[in-house]
Amino acid sequence: MSRGVLMRVLGAPILLLAVACLTFVLMRAAPGGPFDREKQIPEQILRQLEQKYKLDGPVYDQMGRYLWDVARGDLRLSTQYRNRTVNELIAQTLPVSMMLGATAFAIAVMGGSVLGICAAAAHNRPTDYALMVLALVGVSLPSFILGPLLMLVFSFWLGWFPVGGWGELRQLWLPAFALSLPYMAYITRLVRVSMLEVLGEDYVRTARSKGVPEGRVLFVHAFRNAALPLVSYSGPLAANILTGSLVVETIFNVPGMGPFFVNSVLNRDVFLTGGVTLIYSALLVAFNLLVDVAYVWLDRRIRLD
């Protein structure tokens, strides 16, 4: 196992540099540049800007210098937010996204698991049908509809939570719930299906016939094995949800990293795009590794070689 893990850890930096390289080339190849402005910038100032942001010279040369800076942990200056480094932009916004994302992740995984188990236990009975209809609605409702809907009910009608902002605990719940709901619905379906499969197996029947209480059969014996698909889904989900969401963070005005994924591309803010892509990739690699390790722990038959 340790050899497999080691190989992946060693491979990660190479993978990340490849991501940086690809992002940079795509951004530079896209039409329009970071210094195209509404009021045209005079030629000599444009040259100065390109030099200052190290975007002068041939593209392969620009890229080489960029990769060298990235390798040393310098994600460079943002071309849009002129007095900020990409490191600073990420350092200030990523914790916010992670806070919101971790909450949403917990709600999605716990809520989805419990509901999935309940649905499986009530297989082909009204509870099951009702939960599956709800899950279908949850999966299909986009967050730009769900967000305002939650706001309408809980902020405008009931007045329980503010419509947005960040800094107090009561500002966390609406965006976290809006962010988690589609994932929770998906997890409910995922857990239900794999529970149904496991519940038909011999060892579950044995456990039941030995008189183990039903709750223990479901939540301990069956769920431990049924959780494998959920675990493998959690890796990419965590990377995705922790790096922020454009839609939810915009609707609730949460100062996270999510909007940078789209806005930095629209602004052709090449280094900010590079930075957020790298963070996302690094989290993805890390969580997938965690998933593999968790697999081994959950099912001793799996080996990581």
Partner 1 sequence: MTAGTLAVLAFSGCGAARERADLVFINGVEPESLDPAIISGQPEGRLVMALFEGLTSRDAAGVVGPGMAERWEVSPDGREYTFHIRGGARWSNGDPLTAQDFVRSWERTLNPLTTSPYSELLFSVDGAEDYAKGKLTDFSKVGVAVVDDRTLRVRLRAPTPYFLELCAFQTHYPVHLSSIERYGIDWIKPGKLVSNGAYRLVEWRINDRIRLEANPHYWRAASVRLKTVEALPISQATTAFNFYSTGLADLTLDKGVVPPMLLDELRKRPDCHIAPVLATYFYRFNVTRKPFDDPRVRRAFAMALDKQFIVGRITRNGEPAAGSFTPPGIRGYDPPRGLPHDPDAARRLLAEAGYPGGSGFPPFGLLFNSTEQDEEIAVAVQDLLRRELGVRVELRRQEWKVYLNSLNRLDFDMARSTWVADYPDPNTFLDCFVTGRGNNRTGWSNARYDSLLDASNRTLDPAARFGLMRRAEEILVEGDVPIAPVYHYVGVKLYDARRIGGIVLNPIDEYPIREMYRIGGPP
Q: Is the alpha carbon torsion for 226, 231, 236, 237 positive or negative?
A: positive
Select 80 or 281, whichever has its Cβ closest to partner 1: 80
Select 226 or 279, whichever has its Cβ closest to partner 1: 279
180 binds partner 1 (CB under 8 A): no
Q: How far apart are CA 297 and CA 226, in angstroms?
A: 14
Select 176 or 204, whichever has its Cβ closest to partner 1: 176
User: Reduced to 3 states, what is the DSSP secondary structure of residue 31?
Assistant: coil
Instruction: Give which of 157, 122, 125, 119 is closest to 138, Cα–Cα.
Output: 119
Could you tell me the two tokens for 173? 């719940």
* CB 138, min distance to partner 1, A: 22
Select 34 or 222, whichever has its Cβ closest to partner 1: 34
- Region 238-297 residues binding partner 1, contact defined as CB under 8 A: 250-253, 255-256, 259, 266-268
Options 21, 49, 141, 289; binder of partner 1; rule CB under 8 A: 49
Select 88 or 197, whichever has its Cβ closest to partner 1: 88
Q: Residue for token digits 């940079």? A: 24
Residues in the chain: 305
Options 2, 10, 14, 38; binder of partner 1; rule CB under 8 A: 38
Options 36, 56, 201, 214; binder of partner 1; rule CB under 8 A: 36
Could you tell me the two tokens for 245? 């969401």
140 binds partner 1 (CB under 8 A): no
Q: Where are the alpha helices (DSSP H) in the chain?
A: 2-29, 43-52, 59-71, 86-121, 126-140, 143-151, 173-199, 202-209, 214-216, 223-242, 246-251, 258-266, 270-298
Select 130 or 145, whichever has its Cβ closest to partner 1: 145
156 binds partner 1 (CB under 8 A): yes
205 binds partner 1 (CB under 8 A): no
Characterise 211 by phi-psi region: left (phi > 0), alpha (psi -120 to 50), beta (else): left
Residues that bind partner 1 (CB under 8 A): 30-34, 36-42, 44-45, 48-49, 52, 77, 80-84, 89, 92-93, 95-96, 98-99, 102-103, 106, 148, 151, 155-156, 162-169, 250-253, 255-256, 259, 266-268
